[in-house]
Structure formats: C-alpha cells, structure tokens
A and B are shown apart, each in its own frame.
Chain A
Amino acid sequence: MLELRDITAGYERRRPVVSGVSLTVAPGESVGLLGPSGCGKSTLARVAALLHRPDAGTVTVDGVAAPGWRHRAPRALRTSFGVVFQQPRLSADPRLRLADLIAEPLRATGRRAQASAAVAELAPAVGLTADLLTRRPHEVSDGQLQRACLARALVLEPRWLICDEMTAMLDASTTAALVAVVEAYRARTGAGLLAVGHDRTLLERWCDRTVRWSDLAGTERVTAPGEGPAAA
C-alpha cells in the first residue's frame, strides 16, 4: 500500500503547489492521476517517489512511514520506487552509453556484478537492440532514450512505479509499446503503479482507476503560477 496523506508541497515557502492532497494506491493497483498542465501533479508524483520533501503530510510505503526524502530516505525504501520522467533527455546522463545508463542503479547500490545479465535481459524487453546499447543519448531518438529510461527504472525490480508523463513526448506507437512493457512488468511482479498525465484516453485505457486532480482533497486552493483567466 502506498499512502500519501495530507501532502502540502511546493518550491517556495508561502506558495504551496500542492496543498492537503491525499491519495492511496493499493498493492498491485494502477492509478492514473489526471490533471491539466501546471496543476502540481508532477510535484505530488515526486513526493510519492520520495524525491521531493513535502512541507507537510506523510508518505507510507507498505506500512512504513517514510522517515525522510531523497538521501535521507533509507536505501531499501528509495529503491522500492522506479521513476520514469517526461523528458528522457533531461533525465539521462549524456556521458553514459545506454547499457551503462540502464545498469546505473545496480552500480549505485553495489550490485555491479549483476549489471551485464540485467541489461541483457531488460534491453530486449523494452525493445532496444544491441547496437543501440553502445550509443550515448545524443545518438538515439527520444523514443529510444525513453525506452532506456524505463529499463533503468525497472532494473532494481521496484515494488512501485511512478510514471510522470512518461509518454507525453512520444508518438502513438512508442507510447503503446512502453505501456505494454510496464504492464508486462507489473503482471510478472505485482508492482503498483502511479501514472501521472493529462491524456484521459490514455490513462483510462492504461490504469485500473483514474483520479482527477480536481477531485483530490484541498486542491481548490491550488492555482498554477501565472495561470491567467484566459488559460484557466
């Protein structure tokens, strides 16, 4: 069970982007979180993945309340999350070859020995061929790089997957392919999923249930910075 309770979070002290939001994902469940651009849903996803410390509220993972965020979170808790972000270019180290990119979490957790076997298993699963694995990010397309980023998120076999607009930059075919990879992984491991996005058709097709941002508690006070009346 992944429980977010009364989360208030933001980047400036007096201007929370998320205030008083609660959300629960049951084990093995897939939840789609729908919201317009700039509503704060990505911030909530980062809080859930223990990547952003909220100003208030608690995150409970499988019955254990997170004692801290980022490097203050225990490694076992941190590595129970796999995260895929919207922009693969910004979330990939440009110096790493794709094979090293995928294996990086294993190296970081001292499991270097498993790297080559894990990459050999994951790369075909996400649709990456051997010649792509030797390239660096600037030598592959967005879709290919996002495939590598998804493999990286899966390499530690996380119990929870957080996909923040994973497919917003991608074409329809790559979108369907990546969603199929996530679902195959979940079918095998029973991992839970929080998928954040603005494409209702996609999330309703993908997830067991979808939650609208506007239906979450306390969000009526939330407005994106600079959101004009004409764009509301």
Chain B
Amino acid sequence: MTAPRTTAPPAPVLSVRELSVRFRMRGGHHVRAVSGASFDLAPGSCLALVGESGCGKSVLASALLGLLPGNAETSGAAHLTAADGAPAVELLTADEPLLARTVRGRRIGLVPQSPAAHLTPVRTIRAQLEETVRELGGGPAAPAAGAARGTSAARRPGRRAAREALRAAAERAADRAAFPLDHLDRYPHQLSGGLAQRAASALALVGDARLLLADEPTTGLDRDLVARTVDALRAHADDGRALLMITHDLAAAERIADHVAVMYAGRIVEHADAATFFGTPGPRHPYARGLLDALPGRAFAPIPGLPPELGALPDGCAFAARCPRADARCAVRPEPSDGVACHHPHPGPPPADAPEKSEEKGDRRARTA
C-alpha cells in the first residue's frame, strides 16, 4: 500500500491492516464508522488522513489509542513496533492496563484537537509538564521522589536534588516544543492559541513516543499559526518519529505530508504520494479530486450532495450518488487497487478530463480476475 521513497524502507512504526470499527446501536443495527483501513507508517514520515467531518477519521485515531466507547466492535490489526526490538503491541486487542501503562503517552504521543480544552485549566504549564515527566519516568527524579516520600528529614537533600532534576527535565521538554520558558508559570487561559498548542505538543513529546498522533491539530488556528504548528510537527517527524495527522485542512496536509490517505464514509478511498496528489497528476479518486477542487485557491466548487450516513451505507461505492463518473458498475463496491478504490479512477497525468473508460475497464477486469 505504501510507496516509500527510499529503496530500503525501515520497518514501519505502525502497521494497520483491515481495521474496522462499528458501533452497536439500539435496535440492533450497526454504524460502520471505519471499514477495512490499511496503511503503514515509517519512522520519519508523515501520513495525512484527510476527509470530511464525520467520515470516521477520529474514530480511527480513538481505536489506535484504545479510547473507543463500550459499544464499539473492532476487527483487523494495528501493530505498533518498538525501536529496540521489543515485541510489537497489537493495539486493538491490548488490554486497558497495558495501553494505559505502556502505550498512551509513552509509545504514542497525542497532539490534541483543542489544546485549550486538553490542558488542565487550574494548573500552570510547568506543573502539568512536571507531572507528565514524573509519571512517564522521563527523568532521574522519578524513583528518588518516590523513595523519599516515606522517610522524611534525613533525605531532604536528595529530595531537593530530585525536584531540581524534575524542574530541569520539564524545562527541556518545553524547550523541545519551542515553548518559551518564561511562560511556563502561566495558566492555560493566559496563553494564546499558538502557545497553548505548543504546550500540548510539549506534553505529547515528553514520553519520547515514536508515533505522534495529531487529531485536527490546526482547528481554529489562523494561517500563520497553522503553518508554524504543522512545521513543528514535521520537525518532530524528521527526528525519526512517525506522524499520523488527521485533518480536514488540505493546505496543512499539503505543507508537511509525505503520503495522503483520503477517507470517505469510513473507507480509505485513495492512498497516494503527497507530491503526486497535490501536484500535477492530481488525485485519482473522483472524491479526492472534488475535495481539492473545492479549495478557494482552485475551482472553489463544492461536491454536490451530502456524504451518506454511516449507519445506512449503500452496498456499492459510497460516493456513487455524488460522483460525476458513476455508472452501473458502481453498484458493486470497488476494492482498493494501486492505492485507489474506484471503478473509474482518473488516470495519472494529464489532469485534464480524458476518460479512457474502455481501457480502464479492461485493466480493472484483468486485475480482479
């Protein structure tokens, strides 16, 4: 599925295969929020997962973090590998203690959608960073502070040293996310949107996780802040982390992503190299093409109609009702092949409409046979 640029790709940090999530609703019917998602994420690379709101992007992220509500049923696999050759964790079947103690914060760092809501409003950024450093055992302070709690006066000097080490570790963590140290003693409401975002990123980076999961990290930020936020995320990926950015902001995705996965009605309908997706050949799936054409910098033309309900998906292609290329064959759901799930994909170059349907059909038949 992936098309790595390097000749010998390193082992993926995250490998997702046929991940499906459905919610059991009252009356016994199901809402299929994610269906058959598969992708790999290599260290140092960034995958942007894009799509309309309500297409299942955030459910996918919650599934990876083990944060789905009780009525969710998952299938498939999501393997999170470790750098040091430790066994991979299968995120979908891992139990809650394992996820809580070893995965969230330590092996997956979450950059939240709304940092102002993510940070604790009644505590300073320093207090929150120090707590995170202490809990994740990121500094030498952790064992010393724990041991000192029982005994008292005799160990005071050691305790002070531990406190200073913790303070220094928290400041290093802030520095890594370019959070200004003179703002550490401020409360979240005293920070601008951009600084709150950096504070949240600093918290996400404390555990030195190899996978960063950013769920709509740029919602509500203005253009300059979007650029700065995603550039910072990209820099963390360049340090050897893998970055999964979930967004509806195509400009942000274009800025930093190596690969783009387009999600529609719970399915990844196109998975492409970012340069070809945003560049001259353009997207191959009609939905992805429509999404790009809707940008104000391009045609500014909306895709007609509304996305289907996840609780009542059609049997065939979910996009057919809105698709200019749909025909009778779209009553059968297209399987992904060559990174695109469509019976009538746009060819590579040129982007101008030159439908070669007969050839595509022959091609497709040969593949499915």
Contact = CB atoms under 8 A, between A and B. Distances in A.
Interface of A: 35-38, 86, 127, 129, 132, 141-144, 168-177, 179-180, 198-202, 204-206, 224-231
Residue with the highest number of chain B CB atoms closer than 10 Å, among A35, A132, A170, A230: A230
A170 B53 contact: yes
Interface stretch (B88-96, B140-148, B214-222, B335-343): B214-222
B54 interface: yes
Residue with the highest number of chain B CB atoms closer than 10 Å, among A202, A204, A228: A228
A142 B297 contact: no
Interface string B58-99: 000000000000000000000000000000000000000000
A217 B294 CA distance: 34
Contacts of B300: 176, 179, 205
B250 interface: yes
B248 A206 contact: no
A169 B113 CA distance: 11
Nearest to A197: B222
Given A37-B220, A171-B291, A231-B194, A176 B53 contact: no
A205 B300 CA distance: 8
B323 interface: no
B192 A37 contact: yes
Interface stretch (B103-111, B156-164, B183-191, B201-209): B183-191
Interface string B279-306: 0000000000011101111001111011
A37 B294 contact: no
B160 to A, nearest CB: 30
Given A205-B296, A228-B180, A127 B306 contact: yes
B52 interface: yes
25 contacts: A35-B222, A127-B306, A129-B306, A141-B52, A141-B53, A142-B53, A168-B219, A170-B53, A171-B51, A172-B250, A172-B295, A173-B290, A175-B294, A175-B296, A176-B295, A176-B302, A177-B294, A179-B300, A199-B223, A200-B223, A201-B296, A201-B297, A226-B191, A231-B193, A231-B225
Interface range on chain B: under 10, 10 to 19, 20 to 34, or 35 or more?
35 or more
Given A127-B306, A198-B222, A230-B178, A171 B248 contact: yes
Given A172-B294, A227-B192, A228-B195, A180 B302 contact: yes
B51 A230 contact: no
A141 B54 contact: yes
Contacts of B306: 127, 129, 132, 144
Interface string B109-132: 000000000000000000000000
Residue with the highest number of chain B CB atoms closer than 10 Å, among A168, A176, A205: A176
B224 interface: yes
A209 to B, nearest CB: 16
Contacts of B221: 37
Contact of B53 (A38, A143, A177): A143
B54 A226 contact: no
For the complex of A and B, 5 pairs with smallest distance between CB atoms: A198-B222, A177-B302, A141-B54, A176-B302, A231-B194
Given A173-B303, A176-B294, A36 B53 contact: no
B197 to A, nearest CB: 9
A169 B219 contact: yes
Nearest to A181: B302
Given A171-B51, A171-B248, A228 B191 contact: yes
Contacts of A201: 295-297
Nearest to B312: A131
A226 B52 CA distance: 33
Nearest to B251: A201
